[in-house]
Every structure is written in C-alpha cells, then in structure tokens.
Amino acid sequence: MAENDDVYETNIMSVNNNLWTEETEQILCRKADYSKCMARLCTSTGEYYQQHRTYLLVPAAALSWGLTIFGIIATYLGNSTISEPLIILINGLINFIIATFTTVAEKSQAGSKVELFQQLSRDYYCLANDVGQELVKSPETRPAATNFMKNTDIRYRDLEKSTPPIPRNVVTSFIKREQLNLGWDKMYKPDILSTLIPTCELIWIRPVEENIGEMLGRTRPEQGSVVGEGGIITDIL
C-alpha cells in the first residue's frame, strides 16, 4: 500500500508540474516583455556605439587622405615653394591627430561592443519569440509548465549577466522614443527602463475566501468567552 501511495503522489506531482495556470502565463508574459524591451534597447545601444566609432574613424580617415594629397602637392611644387621643415611639421602634426583618433577608437572598444549588442539583441528576440509561440498554443499542446518556466528563467538570467552596462543617455533617449508607441504602457518593463516600485506590490493577492479562512483560523477565543455558531465569539456572563 505504501508503494502504491508513493506512486500515486508522484503521478499527482507530475500532473501538477504540467498544468498551465493563469499565474504561469502572466510570469512568462512578463519575461517575454522584458526580453522584447532589452532586445530593442540592445539594438539602440549597438547603433550608439557604431555612431561613436564612426565619429572617431571618419575624421582620422579624412586626415589621412588629406595628408596624402598634401604630400603629392608638396612633391610637385618642390622645396622652392614649400620649405622642407614646414612639410615635416605638418606631417608630424597630422599624424599625431590621426594616431589620437585611432587610439581612442581602439581603447573604447566600440567595434566589439557593436557586435556584442547586436548578438544580445538577437538572443533576446529569440527568447521572446519562443515564449510567444508557446503561449499561442492551447495548454494541452504545450510542454510541461514547470520545465518551460525554469528554462526560460535560466536563459533570461544568462542574457542579463552577459549584457554590459548601457549608457544612461542611451536609456533616456530610448524611453522617450518608445513612449510614442501605443503598446508601451501595456508592456512589462525591466528595471533599467522602469521606475522603482516597492517589492511588496508584487506579492500575489490571495482570494477573499482564503483570507477569511486564515483570519478565522488565527482567531483565538479570549479567556471567559466561547465560540458560538458561525464562529462568533460571545462573552460568558
């Protein structure tokens, strides 16, 4: 009998793990919205670093081309028109400016950050699409709810850990731009895009019947009183 009871309890637990509830779907919707917001934010961050990299490399390239043209003109005119010390001075000054631009571009690692944020954007979008595809299905055709939630949470946490800090000005401009979209107010937003809210507001609200039951269960009759019908405490005269 004990073995049969263990098997029965195991089957009940496996069935409960496979069940999809409204709370489960809401949690997954929150994760999917977080992923969509982070995917678009990573795209904006990649564009920001690409623009930053362009602002550094384009002037360096333009100065390099100008230096080459200046060398050709100086060679054509000869030393009689442009003195050799002046040519050396101009070449040294322009090469110093070019080296400064390229060094700053390399130290900022803008190129590698562009590739990183583009890959993170694709991964966040992939996670959001996977969740959305499962929620579209009927609960009977979905995988086990507990396993799917666990895998989704692990994937999202791994992406969060691999996401570098995002500049505040990028976040601010992103929020101003996205606020113009109609669905922005309806979406769940990650902490980086939302205002701080008390954690107590996230606590699951119990049904009224359950709260009443807990209140009655905690009520203890005082000394000199008795519990009458309907759980009403009456004093003993």
Q: Work out the pLDDT band at 38, boundaries 50, 70, 90.
A: very high
Rounded to whole angstroms, the Cα distance separating 201 from 224 reads 40
Gap between the Cα atoms of 79 and 81, Å rounded = 5
Q: What is the mean pLDDT of the chain?
A: 78
pLDDT given for residue 236 in this prediction: 41
pLDDT confidence bin for 154, thresholds 50/70/90: very high
Does this model's pTM top 0.75? My answer is no
Q: Can you give the pLDDT at residue 164?
A: 92
The pLDDT score that the predictor gives to residue 53 is 80
The residues spanned by each domain of the chain are: 14-193, 205-237
Whole-number pLDDT of residue 31: 94
Query: What gap in Å lies between CA 42 and CA 171, rounded to an integer?
Result: 10
Amino acid at 158: D
**228 pLDDT above the threshold of 50:** no
Question: How confident is the model over 126-141, as pLDDT tens digits?
Answer: 999 999 999 999 888 8
Residue with tokens 């040519």: 87
The Cα 227–Cα 218 span in angstroms is 13
Residue 71: pLDDT over 90: no
Task: Give me the pLDDT at residue 181, please.
Answer: 83
Greater model confidence, 159 or 16: 159
Determine the 3-state secondary structure of 233 from DSSP. strand
Q: Which amino acid is at 135?
A: L
pLDDT of 2 reads 44
Q: What is the pLDDT of residue 120?
A: 95
Residue 206 pLDDT: 67
Q: How confident is the model at residue 16 (pLDDT cuts 50, 70, 90)?
A: low
pLDDT > 90? residue 151 = yes
Provide the Cα torsion 12, 18, 23, 27; round to 10°.
140
State the pLDDT at residue 29. Answer: 93
| Predicted local distance difference test score (pLDDT) of residue 226 | 45
For 199-227, how does the pLDDT look when each residue is reduced to its tens digit (9 = 90+)? 776 676 766 655 555 555 555 444 444 44
